[in-house]
Amino acid sequence: MKLALPSAIQPVVGPFSTLQKKWLVFWHTLNVAQRCYFSATMLCLLAIFNELPEDSSLYLGASVLALIAMTREFWPRFIHLWESLPGKAVILLFYAFIANYALAQAAGMVNDITGVNADHLPYSHNFSMLLSVPTWFVTTSILLLILLQLIQPVYLFVLMLLRPFGLHKWWHSPDYQYPVTTGLVRFFFGLFLLYQMAVFISSTGMSRGVNSFLRHIVEGFTGQSIQLNITMQDDADNTLTHTTIDAIAGSAVNDTEQAKLAEQQAELNELKVQLSAFEKNADKYERHLQNALTYFIYEYESDSRSRCEIAPGTRIIELNDYELLEITKLEGDPARYEFVVKPCISAAIGHQFRNR
C-alpha cells in the first residue's frame, strides 16, 4: 500500500521529489565510464573547494575513477584493434620497441655491477628485467597518455565541426549521450592523470629511468641533443640574484623591489630543495634495485663449488674455460660485494697463474 504524504508538507517535499526524478533520469542516461568521469569530477571539485593538498585521498580516488573510465572506454577498442592483422602488427611493434629498451637497460645494470657481459649471467639478466617492470609499466602508461592527449584535441575538433549538422553522435552508439562534454572531461582527466603520474615517478625515484628513456626518444626523432644542467643554471640564477640584491641595496631602492627579489630567491631555494629530493629518491630507488640484483647474483647465480679453485669465503661464476668471476662479500656491510675477474686454475689448466 502506497503511503500518501500529508498535504501540509507536500509543497516542501515536491521540489525535492522532482529534482530526484531528474537526477535519476540523468544518471541512467550515462554509461559506466561517464558515471566514473562524473564521480571523479565531483571528487576533484570537492577537493578544490576544501583546498586539500595534492596527496589527498580525494584526488587519489578521482585518479582511480578516471583510470577505470578510460580503461572501460578504450579496452574494447584495443580488443577490436588486436583482432585485426594490422592492429596486431602495430601493437607487437610497440611492445617490441619497449622490450628492446628494457633488455638493454637490464643488461647494462648487470654490467655495471659485475663488470662483465650480461650474457654470462642469464638468470640475473632476467631478474634485472623483472626488477625494471614497474619503470617500464609507468613509461608505457606515460607514452599512452601523451598519445591520448595528442589525439583528443583532433577528436574534439571533429565533433565540434559535426555538431551543427547533427552528426556528432555518428561515431558512437545511439544511446551514447553527451559525446562532446564527455570528450572535454576525458581530455581534462588525461592531463590530470599525466600530472599524477609525474608526481608518482618523482616521489618513488623512477623519474631518472623514465626521463632518460623519453629524452633518448626525443633525441632520436628530432636529431637534437637535449642537455639538462639544472645545477649550473641554479648557480647562475643564484649569483645573479645576489648581485641584483647587492645592487639594489647599494642604490637604496624601495622595499617593494627588495621584497620581490626576496620572494624570487625563496622560490628558487624551494625549487632547489625539490630537485634535491627528486635526486635523492632516484638514487635510493636505483640503490634498492642494485642491492636486490647483487644479492641475487651472489646467492643464486654464483657457484660455491666448481672445477676451478675457489678462495675461502668466495663464490664464482665461470665465464669460459680460462676465466671466472669471483664474488666476495665485504665484511662490515652485508649489501656490498666485490667482483673480480680471475684466471681459472683447475686440475688441467691455469697452474702458471697460481703464484700471481
Confidence category of residue 41, pLDDT binned at 50, 70, 90: very high
Cβ–Cβ under 8 Å, residues 251 and 261: no
| pLDDT above 70: percentage of residues in the chain | 74
Predicted pLDDT at 236 = 45
* Look-up of cell digits 574494447: 76
Confidence category of residue 197, pLDDT binned at 50, 70, 90: confident
Cβ–Cβ under 8 Å, residues 226 and 215: yes
Predicted pLDDT at 45 = 92
Range picked from 9-18, 161-170, 341-350 for highest mean pLDDT: 341-350
User: Where along the chain do its domains lie?
Assistant: 10-222, 230-292, 303-353
Give 51-105 pLDDT, tens digit per residue. 888 778 888 899 999 989 988 888 888 898 899 998 899 889 988 888 888 888 8
Helix axis angle, 85-114 to 57-82, nearest 10° = 120
Predicted pLDDT at 330 = 84
- Strand ranges for the chain from DSSP E: 314-318, 323-329, 337-343
Helix, coil or strand: residue 215: helix
Cα-trace Rg, the chain: 30
pLDDT over 50 (residue 20): yes
Looking at beta carbons, which pairs linking 178-187 to residues 24 or more positions away fall under 8 Å?
A: 178/30, 178/34, 180/156, 182/33, 182/34, 182/37, 183/152, 183/155, 183/156, 183/159, 184/156, 185/37, 185/41, 186/37, 186/69, 186/70, 186/73, 186/152, 187/149, 187/152, 187/153, 187/156
Query: What's the helix, strand, coil split of the chain in %, to 5?
Result: 70, 5, 25
Cβ–Cβ under 8 Å, residues 77 and 155: no
Range picked from 187-196, 206-215, 255-264, 327-336 for highest mean pLDDT: 187-196
- Rounded Cα distance between 347 and 53, Å, is 68
* Look-up of cell digits 669465503: 313
pLDDT over 70 (residue 248): no
- Rounded Cα distance between 235 and 272, Å, is 10
Flag the least confident range among 72-81, 256-265, 317-326.
Answer: 256-265
Helix, coil or strand: residue 45: helix
Q: Name the more confident of 108 and 347.
A: 108
Predicted pLDDT at 51 = 85
Cβ–Cβ under 8 Å, residues 113 and 290: yes
Predicted pLDDT at 235 = 47
Give 112-153 pLDDT, tens digit per residue. 999 999 999 999 999 998 888 877 777 777 777 777 777 878
Which residues pair with residue 324 across a beta bridge? 318, 342
Whole-model pTM over 0.85 = no
Instruction: Show the cell assigned to 86.
Output: 594490422
